[in-house]
Chain A
């Protein structure tokens, strides 16, 4: 237990230590006035003027159009992969609904996979469609975050940056170099990186086995650094080729938390409000630790019914104890709990344990984190989501102290609140709406792996994961059907652009406003009190929205488990 806690503390310390240099580096990337050679070439190829400032509407339009074009490209590539090169296993093209779902999922950084990668996608599709989309979708989210932070620093200057510049720089200066290093480390740890498609082995019984290989390490790097989460293999990070050792497990956790946590430092640097940046870091961390404090003890305690049956669940030298169903022995309870908490916090969606097999409370943690979607959150969008709650907090606080609410010197008025509420609404609409539709859909019970509340959790999880652009699967649900592929694809798109665009608009509005000087009557937001209030508003709004659904899923399952009933 104490070694586990020490492990958590060490990991969080590493995350913080890495966030500082990374955050400062990102701030430099986002504010640099010059353009490097490969970037100038890129701009010339794209035909854009890198010094042209965009208003939020232009920025948003460029973002949406670029994404739409790539969504279409990805869709086509997946449909016609049968005729494309590097397809030695002669895999057929995807069905329309699956191709839509997959393209939508990868362009939005969700990486929900209704299919199993190794027996659906050719090497070409994995690299050209998926790894490519994973990179640009990560860059898109981060670009939006950069624009948002930049906008908050502007006074009466509604231009929030240039989307093409942000996108290009993030790819050239951030994602490619960092991923290169991480991929090399993965290769060192035993992750394959080859263009060959399989290795043939003879098993002990003499049978011939095809072991699928491919460019795993490069995908693995962007999967975590880009908080994408889509695995090369269906088993994702539980597969020994994706995540061979406890070291790679820790590396992957740190990779996915790297940019989301560093962005708070970037925020502090770019706006010269260091304390404010740390306040947001603190808000992330407090929620993260809170969720970890639910997941780890729940998994460690395991199922009380085993104890009554006389099954030992204690941690011993030979066994990790606790709920080991669906977990890898090489990661154990601590490594798996931290991975679960991290992957749904940072909206990565990679899994190194089967979430379906988590204890009810353990399963509540990923659900809860994705519903809030701002416990670190995805690159860029996580911070934006937190700021959305911070703006709501500021609004309430402002009224409670008798002053028109101000956030970082910007007045928060009706138009901002309208857009923020629009962004807030995207989550309940998709998560609750689509879940309600799904549970009423004919023959839906056939797709479930379990009945009762657990079955309900499986559906709820699918739409939550899609809306939060997380992409992790609970498992247990057969989702490769036209209904699921379509509705999940829609949830993914609404969840992404339904929050991103309104918040970009908020950024644009704020950038066009005067920055008011701080006085003794201004509520200071760079304080622990504000951090606590932001967390509180996040939890209250999220809690009030999703408590009934959670009560019918993991909560009732947990209470039932304590009363010796399983589903």
Chain B
């Protein structure tokens, strides 16, 4: 799946959306959206009135009733179209996912080990717990856990990332996803799900909206809209007796027509937001998809907007994930170049990122060339848990590098000692949050390599932005408190958890939650699973273990921990779009009153013409213009509903001011202009 932007109105989607809009006219579908159901009923009623008018007993000219009826039906259709279009976009995404579900013949192992023989079995007949063999060129049949072997896997179909990833038994990289392909070597995989329940299946179901349930805020908003619709229903229904009374009292004019009352009801009911509500929800999920994040529920997306605490892993999120050598500090009486040379030699065989960074620093800083050393009789000493040092033996000359206490012990054992000055330099480096590595050449302490966690550029600004959004950032790291504090200060996070264990992480989340805060976190390892399950918004990395992905309520296909920030924004955007359109919809009613009220009562009370501030041509044109505006505004706002109102981290009050100005004041003024223009157009075309 790719993260490319879908065009808003993809021509290929428009046709099916139009058809779907018609199909959604069925009352069973309409019933799901109470506001539009009222419009649907109104349209039906006016259509019947038109038939009555055709039969010669009309309350108004049949042409007028027909025009109103048609535009009422359009209102319903436009709302249907918005929903259908949003669903169509989602379905297109789902279709591309489904394209990855191919017919795979799995190799079922008789015994759960590589040595066993295998039998071919259709992937659809696999069951949870079956063990299969996947060899180079094979597709992984279903989600599962690697129990044997190491292989490179192409996951580009899921993540869009073309570089293959390594999957191996044990550890945090043991899960494989159905629909990915093994490129080299082999894997023995224990299937973790039944067919139809795989990650891919769930993604498709989510995206297609088949399981779309209303989110909590959506439910609350629907109740508000239904309540308002009932209020307007009362207003409109009671207008008929009021009108009868007024006519009887004044002895003048005609009682208001049912057509006009239905038109008024539809105009007043919050149809703009009511018609676009489900489209907004579908589009929100779709936007998450475009960010390559799969949420297991709309509820999770919405909760993301409310997050107040972000737990971020230091490694990979805040820093580049590995410490890098940034400086050499030579011991007294040692030339810095000699230290660099010793460090280079000690690191030649060290393939860890730290080791390579030492080589890189020695080369770039002192022009030393690794190739220029004679390493013919060299014997490399690998890092072991016992010695906690690595290095090289050049004949009898032993060069070692290692952590402070390990080197100190090594020197003591060999009858040498660590100079006091060097010890202090090492401690000073540790205080800065960096890691000192001591280098020893033939029992002589040469100096210290400073290894530093490099904070990603731009991350500090992101955190400042989060702070303005009211979100607290907490860095979680296994480092000691000193190191953690230094990096926390450099990165600008609000708090940190040092020497984090899974239990400490879980406790931290619970503490925050006990204080009423909503916590979001990312994780990939199996030991993250309890914390992920506890967090309100838990983003599992797709590269993570099956356990982590099961525990989270979102999966980031790009496995990019900074994605959390985008997720929060998308959640906020979803709510803001609903709120802004609700405000817009309600604000619109003012102008509609000014259009319709004088129109329906002007025969009884000519004085009410004073309320016709738009100077609309005639009562008929006023009612029709208002209804047409009401229908067209739904179409006009579809792009906004699908794209969402942009979130800006400018603080709650400033954001509100902005949205109030645009959607509140805009909603108040736009219909005055729109209705007047439609009225002028109707007059110009001679339609009224």
Q: Does B414 contact A (CB under 8 A)?
A: no
Give the distance in Å from the alpha carbon of A439 to the alpha carbon of B583 in the complex: 34
Interface size class for chain B?
A: 35 or more
Instruction: Provide a sorted-by-A list of 23 A–B residue pairs whose CB atoms are within 8 angstroms.
Output: A396-B583, A399-B221, A400-B576, A404-B216, A413-B217, A421-B227, A428-B235, A432-B234, A436-B237, A436-B241, A440-B244, A445-B249, A455-B249, A517-B516, A519-B308, A521-B308, A521-B652, A524-B653, A544-B268, A545-B235, A551-B608, A552-B242, A552-B246
Check B245–A456 contact: CB distance below 8 A: yes
Q: Does A90 contact B (CB under 8 A)?
A: no
Chain B residue contacts of A404, Cβ below 8 A: 216-217, 302, 305-306, 575
Check A451–B234 contact: CB distance below 8 A: no
Check B235–A425 contact: CB distance below 8 A: no
Task: Say how far B313's CB is from chain A's closest CB, in angstroms.
Answer: 22
- Which of B63-71, B446-454, B462-470, B481-489 lies on the face that meets chain A? B462-470
Q: Does A559 contact B (CB under 8 A)?
A: yes
Check A440–B663 contact: CB distance below 8 A: no
Task: Say how far B257's CB is from chain A's closest CB, in angstroms.
Answer: 15
Nearest-CB residue, chain B, relative to A392? B224
Nearest-CB residue, chain B, relative to A410? B516
- Which of B395-403, B527-535, B654-662 lies on the face that meets chain A? B654-662
Check B593–A544 contact: CB distance below 8 A: yes
Chain A residue contacts of B19, Cβ below 8 A: none
List B residues at the A interface (Cβ < 8 Å): 216-217, 219-221, 223-224, 226-228, 230-232, 234-235, 237-246, 248-250, 268, 302, 305-306, 308, 467-472, 515-517, 571-576, 578-580, 582-583, 586-587, 589-590, 593, 597, 601, 605, 607-608, 610-611, 647, 651-653, 655-657, 659-660, 663
Beta-carbon contacts of A389-430 to B below 8 Å, as 1s and 0s? 000100111111111100001001110111001101100110
Q: Pick the 8 closest A-B CB pairs, nearest first.
A: A521-B470, A399-B579, A402-B572, A421-B227, A519-B470, A520-B470, A439-B245, A400-B579
Task: Say how far A192's CB is from chain B's closest CB, in angstroms.
Answer: 43
Q: Does A529 contact B (CB under 8 A)?
A: yes
Chain B residue contacts of A540, Cβ below 8 A: 586-587, 590
Chain B residue contacts of A451, Cβ below 8 A: 249-250
Chain A residue contacts of B651, Cβ below 8 A: 520
Check B573–A402 contact: CB distance below 8 A: yes
Check A520–B468 contact: CB distance below 8 A: yes
Seed contacts A399-B221, A517-B517, A545-B234; 17 additional CB < 8 Å A-B pairs? A401-B579, A404-B305, A409-B516, A417-B227, A425-B227, A428-B231, A428-B234, A429-B234, A436-B242, A440-B241, A453-B246, A520-B469, A521-B470, A529-B653, A544-B586, A551-B597, A556-B605
Check B647–A395 contact: CB distance below 8 A: no
Chain B residue contacts of A514, Cβ below 8 A: 516
Give the distance in Å from the alpha carbon of A425 to the alpha carbon of B223 in the complex: 12
Chain B residue contacts of A412, Cβ below 8 A: 220
Task: Say how far A397's CB is from chain B's closest CB, in angstroms.
Answer: 6
Check B516–A417 contact: CB distance below 8 A: no
Chain B residue contacts of A456, Cβ below 8 A: 242, 245-246, 249
Q: Given the known A-B contacts A520-B467, A544-B589, A547-B597, are A417 and B224 also in contact in the complex, defined by CB atoms under 8 Å?
A: yes
Residue in B220, B221, B611, B647 whose beta carbon sits within 8 Å of that of A402 in the complex: B647
Task: Say how far B202's CB is from chain A's closest CB, in angstroms.
Answer: 26
Residue from A403, A455, A529, A563 whose CB has the most chain B CB atoms within 10 Å: A403
Give the distance in Å from the alpha carbon of A414 to the alpha carbon of B220 in the complex: 4
Give the distance in Å from the alpha carbon of A565 to the alpha carbon of B221 in the complex: 46
Give the distance in Å from the alpha carbon of A173 to the alpha carbon of B597 in the complex: 51
Check B576–A401 contact: CB distance below 8 A: yes
Beta-carbon contacts of A556-567 to B below 8 Å, as 1s and 0s? 100110010100
Main secondary structure of the interface of B (DSSP, over half): helix
Check B605–A398 contact: CB distance below 8 A: no
Q: Given the known A-B contacts A428-B231, A456-B249, are A402 and B576 also in contact in the complex, defined by CB atoms under 8 Å?
A: yes
Task: Say how far A189's CB is from chain B's closest CB, in angstroms.
Answer: 44
Beta-carbon contacts of A471-496 to B below 8 Å, as 1s and 0s? 00000000000000000000000000
Chain B residue contacts of A303, Cβ below 8 A: none
Check A523–B242 contact: CB distance below 8 A: no
Q: Given the known A-B contacts A429-B234, A440-B241, A456-B246, are A400 and B660 also in contact in the complex, defined by CB atoms under 8 Å?
A: yes
Give the distance in Å from the alpha carbon of A428 to the alpha carbon of B231 in the complex: 7
Beta-carbon contacts of A324-361 to B below 8 Å, as 1s and 0s? 00000000000000000000000000000000000000
Interface size class for chain A?
A: 35 or more
Q: Does A58 contact B (CB under 8 A)?
A: no
Task: Say how far B609's CB is from chain A's closest CB, in angstroms.
Answer: 9
Check B220–A400 contact: CB distance below 8 A: no
Q: Given the known A-B contacts A515-B516, A551-B611, are A417 and B220 also in contact in the complex, defined by CB atoms under 8 Å?
A: yes
Q: Given the known A-B contacts A402-B575, A424-B227, are A452 and B249 also in contact in the complex, defined by CB atoms under 8 Å?
A: yes
Chain B residue contacts of A399, Cβ below 8 A: 217, 221, 575-576, 578-580, 582
Q: Does A194 contact B (CB under 8 A)?
A: no
Check A548–B597 contact: CB distance below 8 A: yes
Q: Does A435 contact B (CB under 8 A)?
A: yes
Nearest-CB residue, chain B, relative to A444? B245
Residue in B245, B571, B575 whose beta carbon sits within 8 Å of that of A440 in the complex: B245
Q: Given the known A-B contacts A400-B580, A424-B231, A516-B516, are A395 and B224 also in contact in the complex, defined by CB atoms under 8 Å?
A: yes
Chain A residue contacts of B243, Cβ below 8 A: 552
Chain A residue contacts of B245, Cβ below 8 A: 439-440, 456
Check A435–B242 contact: CB distance below 8 A: yes
List A residues at the B interface (Cβ < 8 Å): 392, 395-404, 409, 412-414, 416-418, 421-422, 424-425, 428-429, 432-433, 435-437, 439-440, 445, 451-453, 455-456, 514-517, 519-524, 527, 529, 533, 540-541, 543-545, 547-549, 551-552, 555-556, 559-560, 563, 565
Task: Say how far A18's CB is from chain B's closest CB, in angstroms.
Answer: 33
Check B607–A559 contact: CB distance below 8 A: yes
Check B223–A521 contact: CB distance below 8 A: no
Chain A residue contacts of B226, Cβ below 8 A: 421
Residue in B234, B579, B657 whose beta carbon sits within 8 Å of that of A398 in the complex: B579
Chain A residue contacts of B655, Cβ below 8 A: 400-402
Chain A residue contacts of B656, Cβ below 8 A: 397, 400-401, 523, 529
Check B573–A563 contact: CB distance below 8 A: no
Task: Say how far A375's CB is from chain B's closest CB, in angstroms.
Answer: 20
Give the distance in Å from the alpha carbon of A547 to the alpha carbon of B236 in the complex: 11
Give the distance in Å from the alpha carbon of A540 to the alpha carbon of B582 in the complex: 13
Give the distance in Å from the alpha carbon of A545 to the alpha carbon of B268 in the complex: 10
Nearest-CB residue, chain B, relative to A439? B245
Check A453–B241 contact: CB distance below 8 A: no
Check A520–B652 contact: CB distance below 8 A: yes
Nearest-CB residue, chain B, relative to A434? B238
Nearest-CB residue, chain B, relative to A399? B579
Residue in B244, B516, B589, B608 whose beta carbon sits within 8 Å of that of A556 in the complex: B608
Check B515–A517 contact: CB distance below 8 A: yes
Q: Given the known A-B contacts A432-B238, A440-B241, are A522 and B231 also in contact in the complex, defined by CB atoms under 8 Å?
A: no
Give the distance in Å from the alpha carbon of A527 to the alpha carbon of B468 in the complex: 19
Task: Say how far A289's CB is from chain B's closest CB, in angstroms.
Answer: 22
Task: Say how far A153's CB is from chain B's closest CB, in angstroms.
Answer: 15
Check B597–A425 contact: CB distance below 8 A: no
Check B593–A421 contact: CB distance below 8 A: no
Residue in A413, A522, A529 whose beta carbon sits within 8 Å of that of B220 in the complex: A413
Q: Given the known A-B contacts A547-B593, A556-B607, are A403 and B224 also in contact in the complex, defined by CB atoms under 8 Å?
A: no
Q: Given the known A-B contacts A399-B579, A559-B610, are A439 and B242 also in contact in the complex, defined by CB atoms under 8 Å?
A: yes
Chain B residue contacts of A455, Cβ below 8 A: 249
Chain A residue contacts of B235, Cβ below 8 A: 428, 432, 544-545, 548-549
Q: Given the known A-B contacts A414-B223, A548-B597, are A402 and B571 also in contact in the complex, defined by CB atoms under 8 Å?
A: yes
Task: Say how far B592's CB is from chain A's closest CB, in angstroms.
Answer: 10
Give the distance in Å from the alpha carbon of A522 to the alpha carbon of B230 in the complex: 31
Check B234–A401 contact: CB distance below 8 A: no
Give the distance in Å from the alpha carbon of A404 to the alpha carbon of B572 in the complex: 9
Task: Say how far A531's CB is from chain B's closest CB, in angstroms.
Answer: 13
Q: Given the known A-B contacts A400-B660, A548-B242, A552-B246, are A425 and B516 also in contact in the complex, defined by CB atoms under 8 Å?
A: no
Give the distance in Å from the alpha carbon of A154 to the alpha carbon of B508 in the complex: 25
Check A560–B607 contact: CB distance below 8 A: yes
